[in-house]
Structure 1
């Protein structure tokens, strides 16, 4: 699945948590400017967005930028906790770029919501990926089930002599306490 982010009208801002000076779409903006304007901050469901691989940025009904999502970051705004996407901008030669750039929004609907998730046929070739633990197996998720623990334990063995307690102690020392869940 991909996520489509529809940009509103261009407006300048001085309060953006991503330190942008403007948001929204303006005619003749570059693909880089469209991605920067559209990457955040949004109310995104982490259960859904964490499974997405591609993002389409839409302005005035046309796809203005296509990117591959590399991370999702959280930011506290005056309207609560919101998310932003970190992306690699795609270019000519990539099937999603070649199919959708400067074309009508393939996930258009009547909703006022700027965010929409949907399947794009060109994604099929990208649904499987190598397991992030490095085992060489393929999966449609970041890890083959159970392999996230394999990856964690490999690092505990490598950096902490196999001691989970040493790892937890180090983690508690290095990171600030997490905010209580709402």
Structure 2
């Protein structure tokens, strides 16, 4: 038997991981939208300030969900490294997300609450989420590497890899 997983198994694993990431992201999305609208339309903060506050709240929520559910099986030895990278990549996602809001609100002049929500919470968040999924699974929540197996008897390994030759029939 081979320790290598088939392509189908790997795709199934990525699909399950993406579903968990999406569930955590959906909860973070709710936090993001509620906090953004409270800050922008109740507290009357500027759209970008409200966006940064909302995204920061969602980042905290998403870290907890991803660490303790989506990627709970991944390496947990470097928590400070992990948290630092999570924050770094989340901030890049925040720039993507709020960049879409800034472009729409200030660059294109779409200043209605609906336009702000579509730019930030649909377009920006969609692109930012794709970036986050890739970066979190690649750099932040690394796969646990199994301990190196003790090498077997080298002669047995070489013999297993060496093709067998059929005995030649006697001449005669």
Q: Same fold (TM over 0.5)?
A: no
TM-score, normalization by structure 1: 0.23
Give the structure, 1 or 2, with the largest relative contact order (CA under 8 Å, sep 6 or more). Answer: 2
> Whose strand proportion is higher, 1 or 2?
1
TM-score, normalization by structure 2: 0.24
> Whose helix proportion is higher, 1 or 2?
2
Bigger Rg over Cα: 2
